[in-house]
Amino acid sequence: MNLERMRWTLKPKPSEEKTTQLSQTLGVNAIIASLLIQRGIETFEDAKKFFRPSLDGLHDPYLMKDMDKAVQRIGKAIAGGENILVYGDYDVDGTTSVALLSSYLKSYYPNVATYIPDRYEEGYGVSYQGIDFAHDNDFSLIIALDCGVKAIEKVAYASEKNIDFIICDHHRPGVEIPKAVAVLDPKRDDCEYPYKELCGCGVGFKLIQALAKNRNQTIEDLVLYLDLVATAIGADIVPITGENRILAYFGLKVINSNPRTGFKAILKQVKKTELTITDVVFIIAPRINAAGRMKHGNHAVTLLTETDINRAAVWAGEIEEFNTQRRDTDKLITEEALLQISEKKEEDRTTTVVYNENWHKGVIGIVASRLTETYYRPTLVFTKSGEKLAASARSVRGFDVYNALEACQEHIEQFGGHKYAAGLTLLEEDYQKFKDEFEKVVAQTIDPKLLKPELELDAEIDLADITPKFYRILKQFAPFGPGNRRPVFMSQHLKDVGLGKCVGEDKSHLRVVVKQGNSAQFTGIGFGMAAKQGIACKGQPFKAAYVIDENEWQGHVSLQLRLKDIKP
């Protein structure tokens, strides 16, 4: 991230009256009370739900539109001995969803198979090839997860072949809803489900919750599936608020205490005793994703449903290789894309749109994210996919890339996604027209300040406020993620005590030891912040934005500042 132009925004301070009231009610200091109010927690009851998530806080699955129809149709299939095909997308959300629903159904009904479309031959979502496979192999019910809400023609095609569809999706629907037996999607306008931010695996979990209710099972019987749900929540970057917070909280407990065999095999290679949601995002998720990116999503489903540790170790080993390939490929493509931007003199545009027919389709989403680190603006990375071009889109905070694509749809064949990430296909002859139109639409609609990375600061505090007790309470704010980010603090008038230096193999990181007046000393580490050495290490006071972390060194645990940015 380009730190030179990072803009700091201090969140508004809640009213003193509210802060004092909550502080007294909970017996916490004013800073903690203020952080809670910023997160919508204003009463003892709110705080109890936040700090002590309970499975009782999950909503009744039957509040979701069409849930009754979905459960009824699955019941009919089981009673009639029909074959059920569990179909899902090839990313983490899709493969975890397929693993979740298929393993739950197989626990009491044998005629269940899984299908993940080939990323390269079939592309995203429900495919005609997948429906033909179902028809040729005598499947009369397809349950599609993390895809399908826009598959109007595909569902109609299946219907002609006497195949019914149940759709479990969380993407925004189009104007028309497919004519499936049931379409479970909390983002449907006509769905009154109280929580709209579930991921695909979350919707799948609501379906097994409803099925379990009919089988006189309790929520406790389903806890073992929550490791999959927590992984999907982290990987799909959905808000970790409300119901997602409960699912992620208990899912992390499963990952840390009794993970499924496939996770055990992945984690064997990691020297961590306790995983956070961030570890899940950076350790487990990329490995699951790598299978679909570099080879086939089936590998991920097989690993996630495997119960034999030796076989799981073999699958995990293969997936580790895919992940290494993926890392090398995305690094190379990112370098080529940056070169393309500079050769075409496109550094000063409002958008990044790049294309090379030889780029690996499996990593273009990662490359799009990487490019926003250099050029902070809405970004699309295109490659050739069969006769068409396929792209992954990534946005910047505060800008809805889905709406921008909607405004360019005359040049697009197909698109879908969210506010911050989307995918699309178009014809090669439309590429330049689309590129020009996308630049025009974004330039006209984006607030220019959104093109500077924003660092949101939760509160200004003094170093004296940082105590072991303060940190212990902060830790209980986890799991962190969108909607509940790890608190970022700002402190002014800091001085390095003369030990500041650049560290790391390539000296790209900054390590400082700071005081504020007569406060205790704190070590601060800023990854990739060597360029800021001049501000911190010349004896002049500076201000820092940071999160508070624990540092363990030779058995000694101390609190440190993980620097986000520093300014004079």
Q: Is there a single domain that holds both residue 447 and residue 459? A: no
Domain that holds residue 170: 61-318
User: Strand 542-553 vs strand 489-496: parallel, antiparallel, or unpaired?
Assistant: antiparallel
Q: Is there a single domain that holds both residue 162 and residue 289? A: yes
Owner of token pair 């969803």: 97
Contacts of 538 (CB under 8 A, 6+ apart): none
Q: Is there a single domain that holds both residue 263 and residue 295? A: yes
Strands of 225-318, DSSP E: none
In whole angstroms, what is the distance from residue 128 CA to residue 132 CA?
6
Residue 382: name the closest of 344, 441, 427 by CA: 427
Q: Is there a single domain that holds both residue 408 and residue 534? A: no
135 found inside a domain = yes
CA atoms within 13 A on the CB side of 509: 11
In whole angstroms, what is the distance from residue 280 CA to residue 275 CA?
7
Among 451, 476, 492, residue at a domain's last position:
451
Q: Is there a single domain that holds both residue 215 and residue 164? A: yes
Q: Is there a single domain that holds both residue 198 and residue 77? A: yes
Q: Do the beta carbons of residue 201 and residue 172 sit within 8 Å?
A: no
Quickly count: other Cβ atoms within 10 Å of residue 374's Cβ: 16
Q: Is there a single domain that holds both residue 266 and residue 405? A: no
Q: Is there a single domain that holds both residue 494 and residue 396? A: no
323 found inside a domain = no
564, containing H or E segment: strand 556-567
234 found inside a domain = yes
Q: What CATH number does the domain containing 198 carry?
A: 3.90.1640.30
The pLDDT of residue 150: 92
Residue 446 CB-density burial (10 A; 0-12 exposed, 13-18 middle, 19+ buried): buried
Among 403, 422, 451, residue at a domain's last position:
451
Owner of token pair 């931010």: 197
In whole angstroms, what is the distance from residue 341 CA to residue 353 CA?
9
362 found inside a domain = yes
Angstrom distances, CA of residue 44 to CA of 96, 444, 480: 35, 45, 21
Annotate 320-347 with three-state secondary structure. Answer: HHHHHHHHHHHHHHHHHHHHHHHHCCCC
In whole angstroms, what is the distance from residue 180 CA to residue 167 CA?
7
Rg (the chain; Cα; Å): 25
In whole angstroms, what is the distance from residue 42 CA to residue 35 CA?
10
Quickly count: other Cβ atoms within 10 Å of residue 430's Cβ: 17
Among 301, 318, 335, residue at a domain's last position:
318
In whole angstroms, what is the distance from residue 545 CA to residue 122 CA?
46
Q: What CATH number does the domain containing 360 carry?
A: 3.10.310.30
Q: What CATH number does the domain containing 46 carry?
A: 2.40.50.460
Residue type, 44: F
Q: Do the beta carbons of residue 422 and residue 409 sit within 8 Å?
A: no
Angstrom distances, CA of residue 227 to CA of 234, 237, 306, 454: 11, 16, 14, 32
What is the spatial order of strands in the sheet that 139-145 belongs to?
112-115, 83-88, 139-145, 164-168, 182-184
Residue 195: name the closest of 229, 237, 245 by CA: 245
In whole angstroms, what is the distance from residue 363 CA to residue 392 CA?
9
How many domains are contained in the chain? 3
Q: Is there a single domain that holds both residue 20 and residue 121? A: no
Owner of token pair 């979502």: 125
In whole angstroms, what is the distance from residue 381 CA to residue 369 CA?
10
Q: Do the beta carbons of residue 173 and residue 188 sit within 8 Å?
A: yes
pLDDT by position in tens, the chain (length 568): 455 578 899 999 999 999 999 999 999 999 999 999 999 999 999 999 999 999 999 999 999 999 999 999 999 999 999 999 999 988 899 999 999 999 999 999 999 999 999 877 887 789 999 999 999 999 999 999 999 999 999 999 999 999 999 999 999 898 999 999 999 999 999 999 999 999 999 999 999 999 999 999 999 999 999 999 999 999 988 899 999 999 999 999 999 999 999 999 888 867 677 899 989 988 888 888 887 776 777 888 988 999 999 999 888 888 888 888 888 999 999 999 999 999 999 999 999 999 999 999 888 998 999 999 889 999 999 999 888 999 999 999 999 999 999 999 999 998 888 888 899 999 999 999 999 999 999 999 999 999 999 999 999 999 999 999 999 999 999 999 988 999 999 999 999 998 889 999 899 999 999 999 999 999 999 998 999 999 988 889 999 999 999 988 777 889 999 999 999 9
The tokens for 90 are 């090839």
Q: Is there a single domain that holds both residue 257 and residue 213? A: yes
User: What is the tens place of the pLDDT at every residue in 460-494?
Assistant: 999 999 999 999 999 999 999 988 999 999 999 99
- Could you give the residue ranges of the DSSP H alpha helices within 408-466? 431-445
260 found inside a domain = yes
Residue type, 345: K
How long, in residues, is the chain?
A: 568
Q: Is there a single domain that holds both residue 411 and residue 264? A: no
The pLDDT of residue 4: 56
Q: Is there a single domain that holds both residue 209 and residue 172? A: yes
User: Which residues make beta-bridge pairs with 514?
Assistant: 496, 522
Angstrom distances, CA of residue 492 to CA of 10, 63, 462, 515, 529: 13, 49, 8, 10, 18
CA atoms within 13 A on the CB side of 206: 34
Angle at CA of residue 19, ends 18 and 21, nearest 5°:
65
329 found inside a domain = no
324 found inside a domain = no
DSSP 120: T
In whole angstroms, what is the distance from residue 275 CA to residue 375 CA?
32
The pLDDT of residue 359: 95
335 found inside a domain = no
- Could you give the residue ranges of the DSSP H alpha helices within 28-127? 30-38, 44-51, 67-79, 92-106
